[in-house]
Structure 1
């Protein structure tokens, strides 16, 4: 139960960061603001929170994503991390396309 609540908290934090650090700057760009600031770290942090938050919500405390003794990821952990990397790249690409379409370089 605690693992699922932790997953929900991680997901909520990720969605909050998505809104504040990525969607608000995009809304500013759509409104024509001359200078926009956004966080590059958010492009990794948001997918990380979404992927691992959902994984913990589904798997709970029994989510076996790492080897505790060896302090390394197991195949599930590497798969989740690979998904984070792919979503990071796709998110950056989409964001860049949106800004390019709005005339920002």
Structure 2
């Protein structure tokens, strides 16, 4: 029962961190606000908390994810770590692609303004004979 409660707590942590660290910066970037910041650590915290939270909520303590005697992960533990790491990488890649598409180069950057240069206004180099 305690493991399922921890699972619920982990899911609440994941939801709160996703809202604060991913959703709010993305909404600010879509509104073209200057100086939008995000933290890379959120992209590690959210997937790990979500994956382990779901695992504990569904299975409780019935499926061992670690071997306490050997201080190592079991196969189930390695699958959870692999899922969370994949979610972390894919989530950051998706977020970074959206952030770049909105004109922000990095965290804390202002959106880039596209300048349209009229080719006619660029002087031609002098002819050398």
TM-score by length of 1: 0.96
Residues 55 and 63 in structure 1, CA contact (< 8 A), matched pair in contact too: no
Post-superposition Cα deviations, 1:16-69, rounded to whole Å, max 9, x if no partner, equal 001011111111101111111111100010000000000000111223100010
Partner of 1:29: 29
Q: List, as ranges, runs of 4+ consecutive aligned residues in structure 1 with deviation greater than 6 Å.
A: none
In structure 2, C-alpha distance between the alignment counterparts of 1:63 and 1:43, rounded to whole Å: 26
Q: CA RMSD in A?
A: 0.8
TM-score by length of 2: 0.79
Partner of 1:13: 13
In structure 2, C-alpha distance between the alignment counterparts of 1:10 and 1:85, rounded to whole Å: 16
Structure 2 residue runs of 5 or longer lacking an equivalent are 106-129
Structure with the higher helix share, 1 or 2: 1
In structure 2, C-alpha distance between the alignment counterparts of 1:2 and 1:74, rounded to whole Å: 21
Q: Give the secondary structure class of the aligned counterpart of 2:61.
A: helix
